[in-house]
Chains A and B, each alone.
Chain A
Amino acid sequence: MTVLPENQNTWTVAQTANAVQSGDVSAETVATRALEAIAWLNPKVNAFTDVLVDRALSDAQAVDKALAGGASLPLAGVPFAAKNLYDIQGIATRAGSKINRENPAAAQDATIISKLTAAGAILVGATNMDEYAYGFTGENAHDGNSLNPHDTGRMTGGSSGGSGAAAASGMVPLALGSDTNGSIRVPAAFCGLFGLKPTYGRLSRHGAYLFCGSLDHAGPLARSTADLAQVFDILQGPDPDDPSQADKPALITAPELGKSIEGLKVRIAGGYFEQKMLPEARDAVSAVATALNADEIVDVPEAARARAAAYVITTAESSALHLDRIRKRPEDFDPDTRDRFISGAMVPAAWVQHAQRFRSWFRKQMLAIFETTDILIAPATPFHALPSGTKTVVLDGEELPARANIGLFTQPISFIGLPVVTVPIWLDGASLPIGVQIIAPPWREDLALRVAAYLEQKGVAAAPIAKLI
């Protein structure tokens, strides 16, 4: 008999799958409860843009039938949500936009959704996001803002904001996001979740509506490291439909979590990563560093330029993708993204090419650091979740635009595609979580997950569900 907490909202992926697989509860019952939770909680946080009642119940019944026939499904009956830039058969992939919802319904699920459902997971809905993934706030003029379950007056962070709100409120134990400059790591930090941005090229993006293909990653958000590892292991594998996926063997990470972290060389990212933050970000890094016995600081050279390069590539490449739409229908864009897409269409090619060449240079510097370092730690965001509508923040005495600077510390890392687990930290007396990035060398998600698991086991990192009243 699987021992489950009374309230399904607190169940992890592993608890749910074990309970359903062992027959303690049916997938249909779990799906029904998840849909009831969505009906009750979603109006408070606006996480979902589509709730798939019929599909969820039908898929759950199919899982129950398969289990009755002797099937073994690693994610049996686990309800999950997917950012609404992933194709879901039968509905138009809106990617946070007004325009794209006029597109024909997707003919099939995105690859990573198919992988989860093949493992027995139940897709219950699509989640809110910044328009075309161009934002760090989780705010959207068309669908309304996703709200932080830990304080609904604050941002979820974005662009995978609805996914953050769905998992942090306990509507689902698992949500899929995507991350170009921080869009998994920021909502994980603001909503208090574990978030995995794998190595660039690791997971299939087939069926994802891209934002900036040079930098886009798919990945999960969950409330435990074990859940992230199990899901990551299932999501891996070659996809002939994704020309950008790297030709790398799968890395099975779940068995690695119990291993000791003794012998791992953990260092603190210095220089750029020690500036422009509020005390909570500094304290969170300090708490993680103390727990990991990390006291050595390593300077990351030219991180500010790395961020600048990511910024230039993102605005130019994404604006090129949307050029026809921004020419013909600018009034149909979210005002918060429209003006950036217009200016992004005006970027000289030489700037973009220099940024792409700088990416190669920066990769060499980071690989040199990882010759003697196993894990780098850095803040995920410079501050707790900001109150909705915040326009400016003061960092190191300088008044700066709030929105762009939410991703100050995530952008240089995803710029060269390093794998990162964001761990949620609750400082003493804090009413809001904050995140720390656990950064590993390319293709070593296992190391980041192992260290995150250690922090979770020691009680340094935790992802309790929000108590939404």
Chain B
Amino acid sequence: MTEPFDEKAHVANMEKVMGLTIRDEWRSSVETNMAATAKAANALLAFPLADDEEAAPVFLP
């Protein structure tokens, strides 16, 4: 992801993409939560995984 992560821009964009409503009094908290998720994801994405490292969903056809 781009650094530094711009949570305000991301929230404003995704609010439209996902059809969400964010009241003014909620926005700061939503942005704080988004920033926390981005921080967690950033740490994860910095960890290289081999291409054959598969996810393990439970699905039995």
Residues of A within 8 A of B (CB): 201, 214, 243-244, 302, 304-305, 307-309, 311-312, 315, 323, 326-327, 330-331, 335, 338-340, 342-348, 351, 353-361, 363, 404
In the bound complex, CA of A361 to CA of B33 (Å): 26
Contacts of B21 in A (CB 8 A): 327, 330
Asked whether, in the complex, the Cβ of B54 is within 8 Å of the Cβ of A360, the reply is yes
Q: Specify which chain B residues have a CB less than 8 angstroms from the CB of A304 in the assembled complex.
A: 43
Is the pair B26, A355 in contact by a Cβ cutoff of 8 Å?
no
Q: Tell me whether B44 and A358 are in contact (CB under 8 A).
A: yes
Task: Tell me the bound Cα distance from A8 to B21 in angstroms.
Answer: 51
A326 near B26 with CB under 8 A, answer: no
List residues of chain B with CB within 8 A of the CB of A335. 26
A172 CB to nearest B CB, Å? 32
Chain A nearest CB from B47 CB (Å) reads 6
| Distance in Å: Cβ of B13 to nearest Cβ of chain A | 8
B55 A360 Cβ-Cβ under 8 A? yes
B60 → chain A closest CB, angstroms: 7
Q: Is the CB of B44 within 8 A of A305?
A: yes
Contact assessment for B37 and A360 in the assembled complex, using a CB-CB cutoff below 8 Å:
no
Contacts of A311 in B (CB 8 A): 36-37, 40
Contact flags (1/0) for B20-32 with A, using CB distance below 8 Å? 1111001001111
User: Which of B11, B18, B56 is close to A360, meaning CB atoms less than 8 Å apart?
Assistant: B56
Residues of A within 8 A of B43 (CB): 304-305, 308
Docked Cα-Cα span, A16 to B13, in Å, equals: 58
Whether the Cβ atoms of A355 and B44 lie closer than 8 Å is yes
Chain B CB within 10 Å — which of A340, A344, A359 has the most?
Answer: A340
Interchain CA distance A363-B30 in the complex, whole Å: 32
Ordered by A's residue number, 9 sampled pairs between the chains whose C-beta atoms are within 8 Å are A308-B44, A330-B20, A330-B26, A344-B33, A346-B15, A355-B44, A357-B53, A358-B47, A360-B55
Is the Cβ of B58 less than 8 Å from the Cβ of A243? Answer: yes
**In the complex the two chains form, what is the Cα distance from A142 to B1 in whole Å?**
37
Contacts A342-B33, A346-B34 aside, 9 further interface pairs with beta carbons under 8 A come to A308-B40, A323-B18, A326-B20, A345-B18, A348-B1, A354-B49, A356-B57, A359-B55, A361-B53
How far does the alpha carbon of A11 sit from the alpha carbon of B54 in the complex, in Å?
48
Are B40 and A312 in contact, CB atoms less than 8 angstroms apart? Answer: yes
Are B20 and A342 interface neighbours, CB within 8 A?
Answer: yes
Contact between A342 and B58, CB atoms less than 8 A apart = no
Cα distance A404–B1 in the bound complex, in angstroms = 23
Selected contact of B47 from candidates A305, A327, A360, CB within 8 Å:
A305
Query: How far apart sit A338 and B15, CA to CA, in the bound complex (Å)?
Result: 14
> What's the nearest-Cβ distance from chain B to residue A185, in Å?
20
- Nearest-neighbour CB distance to chain A for B6, whole angstroms, equals 13
- Closest chain-B Cβ to A238's Cβ sits at a distance in Å of 13
- Nearest-neighbour CB distance to chain B for A242, whole angstroms, equals 10
Residues of B within 8 A of A330 (CB): 20-23, 26
List the 5 closest pairs (A to B, CB-CB), nearest first: A356-B55, A346-B14, A308-B40, A343-B33, A351-B41
Contacts of A346 in B (CB 8 A): 10-11, 14-15, 18, 20, 34
The CA of A311 and the CA of B39, in the complex, are separated in Å by: 11
Contact call A327/B19, Cβ cutoff below 8 A: yes
Q: How far is the CA of A359 from the CA of B21 in the complex (A)?
A: 33
Q: Please, how many angstroms separate the alpha-carbon atoms of A326 and B30 in the complex?
A: 13
From A308, A312, A342, A348, give the contact of B26 (CB < 8 A).
A342
A328 to chain B, nearest CB (A): 9
Known: A312-B41, A343-B30, A351-B44. A361 touches B11 (CB 8 A): no
A154 to B5, CA, bound (A): 36
In the complex the two chains form, is B20's CB within 8 Å of A353's CB?
no
Query: Smallest Cβ distance from B36 to chain A, in angstroms?
Result: 7
Please tell me if the beta carbons of A340 and B33 are within 8 angstroms of each other in the complex. Answer: yes
Report if A343-B53 is in contact (Cβ < 8 Å); known contacts: A302-B47, A327-B21, A358-B44: no
Pick the contact of B56: A309, A348, A354, A356 (CB < 8 A).
Answer: A356
| Known A-B contacts A305-B44, A312-B44, A360-B55; A339 and B10 likewise in contact (beta carbons under 8 Å) | no
Among candidates A302, A327, A357, residue contacting B18 with C-beta atoms closer than 8 Å: A327
> Chain A residues with Cβ under 8 A from B34's Cβ?
343, 346
Chain B, Cβ-Cβ closest to A416 = B56
A347 to B47, CA, bound (A): 18
CA distance A304 to B15 in the complex (A): 29
> What chain A residues lie within 8 Å of B33 (beta carbons)?
315, 339-340, 342-344
Contact flags B42-54 to A (C-beta < 8 A → 1, else 0): 0111010100011
Query: Beyond A315-B37, A358-B49, is A339–B18 a contact (Cβ under 8 Å)?
Result: no
